[in-house]
């Protein structure tokens, strides 16, 4: 082959190679789309609705979740919002009765429970928990002039609390089942206490402090009567892809200081 035709052949080959590389490059971009890694990771998650993280909660548990201006706000709402953003998902919050959360999770209407939710062995049988993110204790609320000062003073007394919570489990240690009254949320239990329907309410320490602030000198707190509990989020049993993704995001949030900022915004 003479030099002229050899030059043409080499030039044509180079052009074909360039077009081939360009085609491969364009194919990679289009298959990944914008935010390629996020799209791929999101597609691998087992979600109720594609592109959404649906959080179930009971928004009557300040400062972890409560209603403000028609929206659910609080520690859990902001924390799960941050997790959703890092996973490239839109957050949707469903506010429901606390005792309905487990059924909603197993029934596939929510992806995750975040509700000041304590890790307990019986709950672990039906759902999978994320890494823990907060430690709390049960606190007793009584009327300021009740004369009650310790848990022992509540033996055989009427005790209220939020249905399906560890507060009522603690109450079982102090009184008979007939004397234990469950309410759909902590606020109603406190109203029952103020109205004389129960002698005490047992609820987590941070909401207890919120209710004490709301009602001032009418209430008294009895603290450090029960062991510590760990809060975690819960996903449907066996949903390993979502569990791992939430744990990774939660670890990042803790490591970069975002978690501490969220806590500082709501718990003084």
pLDDT in tens, 114-129: 999 999 999 999 999 9
Burial class (CB in 10 A: 0-12, 13-18, 19+), 154: buried
Task: Name the burial class of residue 256, with classes exposed (0-12), middle (13-18) and buried (19+) by CB atoms within 10 angstroms of its CB.
Answer: exposed
> Mean pLDDT for the chain?
87
The DSSP letter of residue 44 is T
pLDDT at site 26: 35
Chain centroid to CA 54: 10
Q: pLDDT at position 41, please?
A: 61
Digit-coded pLDDT (tens) for 93-117: 999 999 999 999 999 999 999 999 9
Contact (CB, 8 A) for 205 and 138? yes
Per-residue model confidence (pLDDT) at position 40: 37
**Runs of H (alpha helix) within the chain:** 3-32, 36-43, 75-86, 101-106, 121-124, 166-171, 186-194, 205-215, 240-255, 258-266
- Global pTM reads 0.79
- C-alpha 179/C-alpha 101 separation (Å) is 25
pLDDT surpasses 90 at 153: yes
Q: Which residues of 63-96 are buried (b: 16+ CB within 10 A; e: fewer)?
A: bbbbeeeeebbbbbbbbbbbbbebbbbebebbbb
| Close Cβ partners of 218 (under 8 Å, ≥ 6 residues apart) | 143, 144, 194
The per-residue pLDDT for range 213-235, each reduced to its tens digit, is 999 999 999 999 999 999 999 99
Residues 42-63 pLDDT 10s:
778 999 999 999 999 999 999 9
Question: What angle, rounded to 10 degrees, do the helices at 240-255 and 258-266 form?
Answer: 80
Mean pLDDT within 186-211: 96
Rg of the chain (C-alpha set): 27
pLDDT, tens digit, 9 for 90 and up, residues 237-254: 999 999 999 999 999 999
Q: Across the chain, how many H-helices and E-strands are there?
A: 10, 14
Q: Residue 140 above 70 pLDDT?
A: yes
Residue with tokens 């500082």: 264
Say how many residues make up the chain: 268
Closest CA to 110 of 182, 178, 46: 46
Exposed/middle/buried for residue 248 (C-beta within 10 Å: 0-12, 13-18, 19+): middle
List Cβ neighbours of 167 (8 Å cut-off, separation of 6 or more).
138, 161, 201, 202, 203, 204
Give the pLDDT score at 43. 76
Instruction: List the one residue out of 155, 143, 162 whose CA is nearest residue 219.
Output: 143
């Amino acid at each position: 082959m003479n030099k002229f035709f050899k030059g043409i052949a080499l030039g044509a080959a180079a052009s074909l190679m360039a077009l081939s590389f360009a085609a491969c490059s364009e194919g990679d971009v289009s298959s990944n789309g914008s935010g390629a890694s996020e799209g791929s990771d999101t597609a691998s998650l087992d979600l109720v609705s594609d592109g959404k993280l649906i959080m179930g909660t009971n928004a009557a548990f300040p400062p972890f979740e409560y209603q403000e201006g028609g929206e659910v706000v609080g520690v859990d709402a902001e924390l799960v919002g941050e997790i959703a953003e890092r996973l490239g998902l839109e957050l949707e919050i469903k506010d429901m009765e606390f005792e309905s959360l487990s059924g909603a999770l197993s029934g596939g209407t929510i992806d995750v429970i975040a509700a000041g939710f304590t890790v307990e062995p019986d709950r672990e049988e039906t759902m999978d928990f994320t890494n823990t993110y907060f430690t709390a204790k049960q606190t007793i609320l009584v009327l300021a002039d009740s004369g009650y000062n310790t848990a022992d003073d509540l033996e055989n007394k009427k005790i209220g609390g939020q249905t399906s919570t560890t507060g009522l489990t603690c109450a079982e240690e102090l009184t008979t089942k007939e004397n234990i009254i469950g309410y759909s949320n902590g606020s109603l239990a406190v109203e029952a206490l103020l109205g004389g329907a129960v002698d005490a309410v047992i609820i987590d320490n941070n909401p207890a402090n919120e209710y004490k602030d709301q009602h001032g000198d009418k209430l008294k707190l009895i603290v450090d009567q029960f062991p510590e509990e760990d809060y975690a989020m819960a996903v449907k049993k066996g949903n390993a892809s979502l569990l791992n993704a939430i744990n990774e995001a939660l670890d990042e949030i803790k490591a970069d200081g975002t978690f501490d900022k969220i806590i500082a915004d709501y718990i003084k």
